[in-house]
């Protein structure tokens, strides 16, 4: 029996609707909506799309947004000056810089320059440390969204064997922390893990964020496991599309002919569908929740700032 699809769209809509209602109440009390400042450097098409999606979501829920689109030639010092300005502004509640940054800009310095109270991406060392200690913190949006999806889908996390493939600060490491806090037994794998399949096959819950097209195949998955695919990769070769999607390839080939590419995760979709019990789709999966949780984090930042005022 093919794997059940874990659809994230309805949950993402529910989260945004909840945020919208709370913002309406906030405006009644404070007369000012939350504000999110999004900073993008350079002309990377993917970054432009991601920032555009975030700004669109802001409009949907009633968050005022600012889009600071800077040229690729922007220096670290120039970007630090902009962030210092946004930190000092009382009308800005959340700040995000779209990653990855162009070569030549010191990513670590930029992340650490953002006021932790406005760090709605959850990347500042203060928030990372608080998360590790189990204290209140802004949690990176993708891992936070995955937890929401698992809870909403009645997945039993406590006692489950969970495996996270990928160790980035954006997904892998915070994901492991959140699962540990919910009493899962967690293993983190990465590009240097020996005999990866033997490790991932032990997992009841497999979360994949490795950044490699279709890397996790049927041999990596425990029969009946829940598989969360965080990857988002473009495939432009028709033969590769046929290999990845099998019986579903014709639909994706139509997309390929119209757009010049189709999106595939880090999990081999055809193989995973035959082994997994439940599986997130790409697109239409985790990415929708990432944006929804950014809205939730921005609301949280605004609420905390107004409470302290």
Closest CA to 185 of 220, 205, 160: 160
Residue whose pair of structure tokens reads 């967690």 in the numeric block: 186
* 54 counts as catalytic: yes
Query: Which residue among the candidates 93, 115, 119, 121 is catalytic per the annotation?
Result: 121
Taken in order 132, 296, 182, 173, the sign of the CA dihedral is negative
* 177 counts as catalytic: no
CA distance 155 to 8: 14
Query: Which residue among the candidates 16, 22, 93, 98 is catalytic per the annotation?
Result: 98
Residue whose pair of structure tokens reads 């965080």 in the numeric block: 230
Omega within 30 of 0 (cis) for the link into 283: yes
Query: Which residue among the candidates 22, 54, 222, 296 is catalytic per the annotation?
Result: 54
Residues assigned a catalytic role: 54, 98, 121
């Amino acid at each position: 029996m093919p794997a059940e699809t874990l659809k994230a769209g309805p949950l993402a809509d529910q989260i945004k609707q909840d945020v919208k209602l709370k913002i309406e109440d906030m405006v009644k009390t404070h007369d000012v909506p939350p504000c999110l400042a999004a900073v993008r450097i350079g002309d990377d098409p993917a970054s432009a799309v991601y920032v555009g999606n975030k700004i669109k979501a802001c409009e949907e829920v009633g968050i005022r947004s600012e889009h600071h689109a800077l040229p690729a030639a922007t220096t670290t010092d120039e970007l630090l000056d902009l962030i210092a300005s946004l930190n000092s502004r009382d009308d800005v509640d959340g700040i995000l810089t779209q990653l990855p940054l162009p070569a030549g800009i010191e990513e670590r310095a930029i992340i650490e320059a953002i006021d932790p109270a406005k760090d709605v991406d959850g990347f500042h060392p203060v928030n990372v440390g608080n998360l590790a200690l189990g204290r209140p913190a802004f949690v990176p949006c993708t891992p936070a969204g995955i937890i929401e999806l698992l809870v909403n889908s009645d997945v039993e996390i406590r006692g489950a064997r969970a495996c996270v493939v990928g160790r980035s600060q954006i997904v892998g490491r915070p994901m492991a922390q959140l699962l540990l806090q919910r009493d899962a037994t967690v293993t983190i794998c990465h590009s240097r893990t020996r005999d990866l399949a033997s490790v991932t096959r032990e997992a009841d819950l497999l979360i994949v964020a490795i950044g490699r097209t279709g890397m996790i195949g049927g041999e990596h998955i425990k029969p009946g496991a829940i598989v969360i695919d965080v990857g988002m990769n473009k495939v432009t070769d028709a033969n590769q599309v046929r290999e990845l999607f099998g019986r579903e390839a014709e639909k994706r080939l139509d997309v390929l002919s119209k757009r010049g590419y189709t999106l595939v995760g880090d999990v081999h979709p055809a193989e995973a569908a035959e082994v997994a019990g439940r599986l997130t789709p790409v697109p239409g999966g985790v990415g929708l929740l990432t944006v929804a949780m950014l809205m939730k984090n921005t609301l949280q930042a605004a609420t905390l700032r107004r409470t302290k005022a």
